[in-house]
């Protein structure tokens, strides 16, 4: 018996034990989170009961089937269960509950953002507490009428009001129905009459108003210098999310909306769309979650996901810290060219920075996790996706691929491919985009025009697939719904550092690692081939696709993806191991399924399979003992 064959048997043994354990763990978790699935009330989830749940889950959340094979793997099931567990408290089992066969929908857990919101709706909508001060009353400015006011956003904490200016702009005649709102305005400019841009003039001509306010760092707002230090002291008393910049920035937009609608002679209820970059991309997204008057957000370099990196998962952070340490050691040794100013920026904004660790000082892990769960679940659109889609809102995120705010693009692409995204290649705070990035991109204007006026549709998020063949990676991207793009372009990187780390931010997409894609009319897909670099262990890629909508050039991306190359077919040992494992595990893929591939209810057949499996487990355990005796002699073990 060859050494390689014994290794395969060893892995089969481990895999079999792991599979049995994973299956039991999944059923236990299902019973905990979805007790109504136990239709016969026996306290055990059968294969048939589990199958009904997963069929309904796939109907409601097709994106959870990441590989698109129509079957949920254990890892895909566990990923969904983790998400549900995070968003819902388990409900007690009710043996009297009998769902309709084959029609029971996946349970809808209460969202943390809706049940434990960090905002108070009454406070948002209360016009009496605006304490409005008129700085310039309604007056004509060209083809518009404008008014400048100052409002009290909130009594942030006892004795601390937060006042901010708001400029209201409507057409010269009639009321504005809804409006476009942003806080991305310089204070001095906001205090002066506004000459609308060409695009804003088109919105106004269509009866849509403009609301401009001021969402900036406190040091940039007159009279607010030093407020951040006060906020931090109040925050550290009990870790209340109210005392964060994210809260007050988002509240500013929601209260400005209340102020606009208080002007009933000039505004009537309609769509409210926020847009902007960084803090002005985050704040409208948060407002969209918590204020149902908001109907859309176009958010640049802003976060959308509550990823393991964002929640400071212990294993993830260990990898990030190691990457940061190695990076700055290489800079110190002169192996990496980095100027001092940019080094200071990375040390300030990277994941695992000193400031982020200082904030956790003196707090228990449980305290910080509770705070993080409450905060981020209330701020990320992906955590509130179902509720937002039920409201029919429009969303577009443009994170850039090298940003310290929107760094979890890989996790987002893997877990939430339904979120419409445009990745600006090598884009982000303090970065210049890749030379091959689109120069004619008009995403914001295309998005807002379509949101307010309809017309020609925008692109819908595509699906992508790939295949490794020796020294190349074949990529295929399909737009299964809506209009088709007119072009496609792909970018890639090898062995990218952990998300949010200093090397993740610093190491850009090489100038030659992009290509135009080809249209395959037979399969209705855009295709490309990436040459695989010798010695690379993984490759990241994404594609951008253009489409003209209502006269504006819009772009959308495929989900950011990563392919592990350690067992690619060019590796002879990897190929042999892959073939052996596929052959050995094939019977267990069919275990408990009938000829059509559906879960089998044949109890006698199940008993036979269990007996057979137990015999193989014993045999594989014996093989494991044999294999362990000679593994130390293998060349790569020395």
State pLDDT tens for residues 465-507: 999 998 999 999 999 999 999 999 999 999 999 999 999 999 9
Confidence of residue 636 (pLDDT cuts 50, 70, 90): very low
- Give me the pLDDT at residue 355, please: 75
Q: Which of 393-407, 512-526, 567-581 has the lowest mean pLDDT?
A: 567-581
Q: Which CATH superfamily is domain 130-300 in?
A: Alpha/Beta hydrolase fold, catalytic domain (3.40.50.1820)
Higher pLDDT, 177 or 111: 177
Are the C-beta atoms of 538 and 359 separated by less than 8 Å?
A: no
Confidence of residue 61 (pLDDT cuts 50, 70, 90): low
Question: What are the start and end residues of each CATH 2.60.40.10 domain in the chain?
Answer: 314-564
Q: Among 457, 551, 450, which Cα is nearest to 180's? A: 450
Rounded to an integer, the average pLDDT of 595-609 is 41
The CA-based diameter of the chain, rounded to the nearest angstrom, is 91
φ, ψ for residue 299, nearest 5 deg: -115, 115
Give how far Cα 292 sits from Cα of 111, 271, 559, Å: 15, 10, 28
- Give me the pLDDT at residue 116, please: 57
- Assign residue 223 a region (left: φ > 0; alpha: ψ between -120 and 50; beta: otherwise): left
Does position 212 have pLDDT exceeding 80, yes or no? yes
- Give me the pLDDT at residue 60, please: 55
Q: Which residues contact 169 (CB under 8 A, 6 or more apart)?
A: 141, 144, 145, 146, 194, 196, 200, 204, 209, 210, 211, 212
Report the mean per-residue pLDDT for the chain: 83
- Give me the pLDDT at residue 360, please: 65
Higher pLDDT, 61 or 323: 323
Q: Which CATH class is domain 314-564?
A: mainly beta
Number of residues in the chain = 638
- Whole-angstrom distance, CA of residue 120 vs CA of residue 558: 37
Per-residue pLDDT of 135-186, as tens digits, reads: 999 999 999 999 999 999 999 999 999 999 999 999 999 999 999 999 999 9
- Give me the pLDDT at residue 247, please: 97
Does position 6 have pLDDT exceeding 70, yes or no? no
Are the C-beta atoms of 37 and 49 separated by less than 8 Å?
A: yes
Number of CB atoms found within 10 A of residue 357's CB: 12
Does position 244 have pLDDT exceeding 90, yes or no? yes
- Give me the pLDDT at residue 567, please: 56
- Give me the pLDDT at residue 32, please: 76
- Give me the pLDDT at residue 65, please: 74
Confidence of residue 382 (pLDDT cuts 50, 70, 90): very high
- Helix 3-33 to helix 47-60 angle (10° resolution) is 80
Q: Which residues contact 301 (CB under 8 A, 6 or more apart)?
A: 277, 278, 281, 398, 399, 400, 403, 405, 406, 427, 428, 429
Give how far Cα 200 sits from Cα of 180, 195, 205, Å: 9, 9, 9
Per-residue pLDDT of 66-85, as tens digits, reads: 777 778 888 788 878 877 66
Does position 463 have pLDDT exceeding 50, yes or no? yes
Higher pLDDT, 109 or 511: 511
Question: What are the start and end residues of each CATH 3.40.50.1820 domain in the chain?
Answer: 130-300
Give how far Cα 629 sits from Cα of 6, 57, 429, 618, Å: 11, 45, 54, 18
């Amino acid at each position: 018996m060859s050494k390689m064959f014994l290794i395969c048997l060893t892995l089969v043994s481990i895999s079999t034990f792991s599979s049995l354990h994973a299956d039991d763990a999944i059923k236990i978790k299902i019973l905990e989170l979805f007790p109504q699935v136990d239709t016969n009330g026996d306290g055990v989830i059968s294969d048939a009961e589990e199958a009904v749940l997963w069929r309904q889950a796939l109907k409601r959340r097709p994106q959870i089937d990441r590989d698109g094979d129509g079957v949920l793997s254990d890892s895909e099931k566990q990923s969904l269960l983790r998400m549900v567990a995070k968003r819902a408290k388990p409900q007690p089992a009710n043996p009297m509950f009998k769902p309709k066969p084959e029609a029971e929908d996946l349970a809808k857990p209460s969202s943390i953002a809706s049940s434990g919101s960090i905002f108070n709706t009454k406070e948002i909508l209360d016009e009496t507490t605006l304490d409005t001060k008129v700085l310039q009353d309604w007056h004509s400015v060209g083809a518009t009428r404008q008014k400048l006011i100052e409002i009290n956003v909130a009594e942030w904490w006892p004795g601390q009001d937060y006042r901010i200016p708001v400029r209201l702009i409507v057409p010269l005649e009639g009321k504005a129905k809804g409006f476009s709102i942003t806080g991305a305005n310089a204070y001095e400019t906001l205090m002066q009459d506004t000459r609308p841009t060409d695009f804003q003039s088109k919105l106004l001509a269509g009866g849509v108003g403009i609301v401009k306010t001021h969402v900036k760092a406190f040091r940039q707002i007159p009279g607010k210098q030093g407020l951040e230090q006060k906020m931090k002291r109040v925050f550290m008393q009990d870790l209340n999310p109210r005392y964060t910049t994210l809260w007050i920035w988002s509240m500013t937009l929601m209260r400005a909306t209340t102020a606009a609608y208080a002007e009933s002679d000039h505004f009537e209820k309609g769509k409210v769309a926020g847009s902007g970059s960084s803090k002005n991309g985050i704040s409208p997204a948060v407002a969209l979650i918590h204020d149902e008057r908001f109907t859309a957000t176009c958010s640049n370099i802003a976060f959308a996901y509550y990823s393991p990196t964002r929640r400071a998962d212990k294993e993830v952070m260990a990898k990030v810290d190691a990457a940061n340490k190695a990076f700055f050691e290489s800079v110190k040794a002169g192996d990496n060219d980095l100027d001092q100013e940019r080094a200071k920026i990375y040390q300030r904004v990277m994941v695992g920075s000193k400031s982020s660790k200082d904030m956790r000082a003196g707090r228990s892990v449980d305290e910080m996790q509770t705070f993080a769960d409450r905060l981020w679940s209330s701020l990320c659109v992906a955590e509130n996706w179902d509720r937002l889609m039920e409201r029919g809102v429009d969303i577009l995120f443009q994170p850039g691929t090298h940003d310290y705010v929107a760094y979890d693009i890989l996790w987002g692409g893997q877990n939430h491919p339904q979120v419409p995204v445009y990745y600006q290649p090598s884009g982000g705070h303090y970065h210049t985009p890749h030379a091959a990035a689109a120069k004619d991109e008009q995403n914001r204007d295309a998005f807002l025009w379509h949101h307010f006026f309809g017309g020609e549709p925008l692109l819908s998020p595509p699906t992508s697939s790939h295949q490794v063949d020796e020294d190349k990676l074949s990529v295929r991207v399909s737009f299964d719904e809506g209009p088709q793009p007119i072009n496609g372009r792909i970018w890639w990187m090898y062995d990218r550092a952990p998300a949010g780390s200093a090397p993740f931010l610093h190491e850009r997409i090489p100038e030659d690692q992009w290509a135009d894609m080809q249209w395959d009319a037979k399969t209705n897909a855009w295709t490309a081939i990436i040459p695989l670099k010798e010695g690379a262990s993984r490759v990241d890629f994404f594609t951008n696709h253009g489409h003209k909508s209502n006269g504006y050039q819009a772009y959308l991306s495929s989900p950011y993806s990563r392919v592990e190359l350690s067992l690619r077919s060019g590796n002879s040992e990897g190929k042999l191991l892959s073939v052996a494992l596929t052959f050995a595990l094939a019977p267990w893929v069919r275990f408990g399924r009938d000829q059509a591939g559906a879960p089998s209810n044949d109890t006698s057949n199940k008993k036979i399979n269990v007996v057979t499996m137990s015999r193989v487990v014993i045999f594989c355990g014996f093989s494991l003992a044999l294999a362990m005796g000679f593994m130390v002699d293998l060349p790569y073990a020395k």
